[in-house]
Amino acid sequence: MDVVELWTGRHANALRLALRLTNEAMARQLGTAVRTVAKWNAEPEVVPSPELQRALDTMLSRATDDERRRLGLVFAATRAEREIDAASETRLATDDAANQALSWLDEAASWTDGSARRLVARLAREVDPRRVQDLARARSRVSRNDIAKFLRAYYDLPAAGYGAFRASVGGIIAETSVLTRPDWLDLKVRLGDSLERFVLDDGRDALLTSLDRTAAEAAAQRLAVGLATGGRLVNSTLYRLTDLVIRRGGIEGAVALTDFVTYALTMDLLEGETIDAIVANLPPEPDSTPLRAQFLPTVDSVIRFGDRLCAGGPLALFAAARPATRTRRKPDFVLLVQQRSGRVLNAAHRLAVIPKAFHQPMVDLRAEAAISMTLNREMEEELFGRPEVDSTGDGFRLAEPLHPSRLTPPFRALLNDMDNWRMECSGFGLNLVSGNFEFASVIVIEDEDWWHTHGGSIQANWEADGLRQYSSLDRELIAHLVHDASWSNEGLFAFLQGLRRLAEIGGDRVDLPAIEWEL
């Protein structure tokens, strides 16, 4: 390169690199301040003053042939990077959910409009997919017990009548990170009737989120990794819990509205940060987890869920009666457990009960505030193959997604015979991992003809890599399953609470290990 028509910060920084000069050395040769040279890298579109334009011309004219060739190579690489950035920015500009996320980030971080877009595009160029895979593998080796112990120490539990749910099964303790208390456990609340009362708190003001630099950069990095690895961001409305009263036999609560982007770029970042701290063998303290120190610093901040973003939802142990066969000599319940997909946002690659869901509306914000509505939708989506009730699609376009005329045969059969199945809330807790609310539930189908007729129609959706089935009579295998290190915290919580309830109502169809919970 022999001539530069107009020097910009990008051209000047390329010349500095080609001449192998530090910012200080180049500033001395040009007779300008070091901060001026540093600004050229930070603001590549800036145009230096006419005096510096002439000084840069002189510096280029004195360059050797090798330095000029190197300048051409550096500038070509810079041009290629700009083209990649432009492609990333184009994708960001044409993706509605990404645009919502970037606008939200600019506002939450008090950045000028477009700052988040430029930062995410640059970070996406720097993402190494192999590093992302290595990180995912390292995170997958961290067990549920590791996470539970880290968080129990961080919050110095038990405290103020609350503790992390744990249970003795076969003489071995299984731990979780679900914060609960005695009157939130073994609830036996029938869902879908007057014992479950949830209202939409539409007078509640939207939460105002303000991110410091650490939190804003972590949010940008999450968006960048998704962009670089081809991930798809979908924004949808979520319910956040604002109030809850639990009593034996009944639940009353209130929910307000938030959205998935706000959750994904704030509270959901805590899971990865926590696991990374464990991988790095850091102590369970605020300096090790700065995002947790900002969003969920104390036990009091956890239990005051109405003052923060508290998303979450119900998850249920699914148990269906089966008749005896030649190989299975006694009638039992089949219990379904899912292996979570790597494509889900949380609890990726972990075991969980199925269905498991975020509590969110489809089309009726007020009527669908009841957690039973989400469980109904999730049975149709996660077990019975209804893709049009999946919120990660293109949105809910049906006026009545759960209209009887549209139901799958398995679900229609259940609704036509309400006396032969039950859906209950068995426990409640607040997950210390991301502050989520968890309604542990159980779905028990007592008519063995239902499984005989519809069992072959059950198929997990994209959120699961596979399903496992267990017999309620296999005490030994279920005790072994409880202690599988790959359980998600909330999944094991719901599984254990569901087993305790099934042992009470299952009669001769169950032979389950004794489960004694403690906090």
Contacts for 266 with CB less than 8 Å, ≥ 6 apart: 209, 211, 215, 219, 295, 309
Nearest to 129 by CA among 140, 118, 120, 137: 137
Q: Parallel, antiparallel, or unpaired for β 437-445 and 312-322? A: parallel
Contacts for 178 with CB less than 8 Å, ≥ 6 apart: 164, 165, 429, 430, 431, 432, 438, 489, 490, 493
Question: Which pLDDT value is given to residue 2?
Answer: 67
How many CB atoms are located within 10 Å of the residue 193 CB?
A: 12
Kindly give the confidence (pLDDT) of every residue in the chain, 519 residues in length, as a single tens digit, with 9 standing for 90 and above. 567 888 888 888 888 888 999 999 999 999 999 989 988 877 787 889 989 999 999 999 888 988 888 888 777 766 655 555 555 556 666 677 888 899 999 999 999 888 898 888 888 878 888 888 888 888 888 999 999 999 999 999 999 899 999 999 988 999 999 999 999 999 999 999 889 999 999 877 777 788 999 999 999 999 988 888 777 677 889 999 999 999 877 999 999 999 999 999 999 999 999 999 999 999 999 999 999 999 999 999 999 999 999 999 999 999 999 999 888 889 999 999 998 887 676 667 789 999 999 999 999 999 999 999 999 999 999 999 888 787 666 556 788 999 999 999 999 999 999 999 999 999 999 999 999 999 999 999 999 999 999 999 999 888 888 899 999 999 999 999 999 989 999 999 999 999 999 999 999 999 999 999 998
**Dihedral sign (CA 76, 78, 81, 85):** negative
**For residue 93, what are the CA distances in angstroms to 115, 277, 420?**
13, 34, 52
Instruction: Tell me the sheet residues that pair with 209.
Output: none
How many CB atoms are located within 10 Å of the residue 156 CB?
A: 10
3-state secondary structure of 282: coil
Extended beta strands in 432-512, E state = 437-445, 464-471
Residue type, 216: A
CATH top class, domain 1-92 = mainly alpha
> Quick one: CA torsion of 287, 291, 294, 297, rounded to 10 degrees?
-70
Residue 498 structure tokens: 């569901």
Specify the pTM.
0.82
Question: Which pLDDT value is given to residue 211?
Answer: 93
In the block, residue with structure tokens 């956040």: 240
Cα–Cα dist 264/268, whole Å: 5
Q: φ, ψ for residue 401 (rounded to 5)? A: -60, -30
CA geometry: angle at 411 spanning 408 and 413, to 5°? 105
The answer to whether the CB of 422 falls within 8 A of the CB of 444 is yes
The answer to whether the CB of 349 falls within 8 A of the CB of 487 is no
Cα–Cα dist 384/407, whole Å: 9
Question: Which pLDDT value is given to residue 334?
Answer: 97
Which CATH superfamily groups domain 136-518? Nucleoside Triphosphate Pyrophosphohydrolase (3.90.79.10)
Cα–Cα dist 219/240, whole Å: 20
Nearest to 481 by CA among 382, 351, 354, 383: 351
Range(s) of the chain covered by CATH 1.10.260:
1-92
Contacts for 473 with CB less than 8 Å, ≥ 6 apart: 330, 332, 509, 510, 511
The answer to whether the CB of 437 falls within 8 A of the CB of 178 is no
Residue 66 structure tokens: 């090798």
* Helices and strands, number each (H, E), in the chain: 19, 13
**For residue 184, what are the CA distances in angstroms to 109, 314, 354?**
37, 14, 21
In the block, residue with structure tokens 């042939």: 65
The answer to whether the CB of 281 falls within 8 A of the CB of 117 is no
Cα–Cα dist 211/264, whole Å: 13
DSSP code per residue over 403-453: -GGG--HHHHHHHT-GGGEEEEEEEEEEETTT--EEEEEEEEE--HHHHHH
How many CB atoms are located within 10 Å of the residue 256 CB?
A: 22
Range(s) of the chain covered by CATH 3.90.79.10:
136-518
Extended beta strands in 323-386, E state = 332-340, 351-353
Cα–Cα dist 44/431, whole Å: 45
Residue 492 structure tokens: 């094991």
